[in-house]
Chains A and B, each alone.
Chain A
Amino acid sequence: MNDPILRIRKYERDRVNFVLENVDMAFANSLRRVMMADLPTVAIDIVEIQANTTVLPDEFISHRLGMIPLVSSNCDVAMRYTRDCNCFENCAFCSIILVLNVKCHDSTTMDVTSNHLEVVPHEDQGMEEAGEEQVKRIEKFGSPVGKNEPGVEPILICKIRKGQELKLKCIVKKGIAKEHAKWSPCSAVSFEYDPHNKLRHTSYWFETDERAEWPLGENAAEEEAPREGEPFDFNAKPSKFYFDVETDGSLGAQEVVMKVRIIVSFLSF
């Protein structure tokens, strides 16, 4: 059986860089695809606009709101999909409500940002006992990533001038990026193999000198350069993969990488 070899080169809260060896390309690529498209997060899905006298139309603002990353730690167990819920429309088990209510009274341009979004409880919340889902949520669950954290620039939604206002209610739902990219926890996933192009999976376009025009990347130092005049090994297969996963903060990089276990559920049919 294949036993993967793993080395984490760099690890931050929302970024991890690792090298995966001794697996085949299909496996490594599935890992990449799962991290990008199969991990559930929460995002604003429905917006009820109560007042909008800003220069941006309702749809424009709704779209911008949808793209704001919200804290989604432990989302796979801490939240239900509305389709699996037994409520009529949405409830405390399968949704979170965010409100925004901003007016500009000053004679300067005002920024409406993700910091103005406030989590509010559902009307009936607390009437019934808290479900097992809610217990698993962290305090900030569902609020914008980095809200009121020092040094974190909030996300600009709109700019308003004196006399303009924006008042709305957002319904936050759980989903995956196969449904809409706003639910992807990853902002970027880089994936590289064979930095010297020994396998000839690509051919470089060049003016005069291929080597001079295509400088080697950082990962080239990890592998032996081809010898001059080395014959092409057409049986060779890639087995060393360089990943760099960067998240939007909705899930931490560690959580994203650990959750690839979700493939097991695909395999257990």
Chain B
Amino acid sequence: MNAPDRFTLFVLDEGEAPVEVNEDTKIPNAATIKILKQDHTLGNMLRAQLLSMPQVLFAGYKVPHPLHPYFLLKIQTDGSIAPDLLLSEACNQLIGTLASLEGKFKREFAFKEADGAGLGATGVGGAGHGGAAFATSDDPYGTGAGTGGTASWGNRDDYLDF
């Protein structure tokens, strides 16, 4: 009844900002960034990308509670760039890597399809489903006897409830 919609776990509310940046008051060049409606998929990837950047002194993320759909990303830089700018730089790098990967997938798939072996020969699911072994029969236990099979109740007209 009063359960929230399940999609509120991954869809931003009306007018909700996806990112909140809170600059740290005690540590220089540090910020805690709250990213809403995202989880480990993005958090861990960003953390790893940030750690690969030379300007970063610290980068870590946590999902404070599994039922709260956001994560916190803590970044400290060496002072040459603000943490939030560095984060957007990390995002751009990841977008670049993904674009490169997408191009490679396209090329490989095109290559495999041109190769001919791709779809035609390997066929499409189906045949591999166990065919005859799983085929329906009127004899579910494969004995033909014992349980009485189907013939024994065949012509009774009770249970006709439509």
Contacts and interface: CB of A to CB of B under 8 A. Distances in A.
B68 interface: no
A260 interface: yes
A190 to B, nearest CB: 17
Contacts of B97: 1-4, 23, 27
Contacts, number: 161
Contacts of B157: 163
Nearest to A4: B101
Interface in B130-162: 130-131, 134-136, 138, 140, 150-151, 153-155, 157, 159-162
Contact of B131 (A12, A33, A151, A165): A151
A26 B52 CA distance: 12
Interface of B: 5-7, 9-11, 18-19, 35, 38, 40-42, 44-45, 47-49, 52, 91, 93-102, 104-106, 108-109, 112, 118-119, 122-127, 129-131, 134-136, 138, 140, 150-151, 153-155, 157, 159-162
Interface of A: 1-8, 11-14, 18, 20, 23-27, 29-30, 33-34, 37-38, 51, 53, 81, 83, 103, 107-109, 111, 146, 149-153, 156, 161-165, 175-176, 178-180, 249, 254, 257-258, 260-261, 263-264, 266-269
Q: Which 6 A-B pairs have CB atoms at the shortest separation, nearest pair first?
A: A26-B48, A107-B154, A152-B126, A163-B160, A269-B18, A6-B104
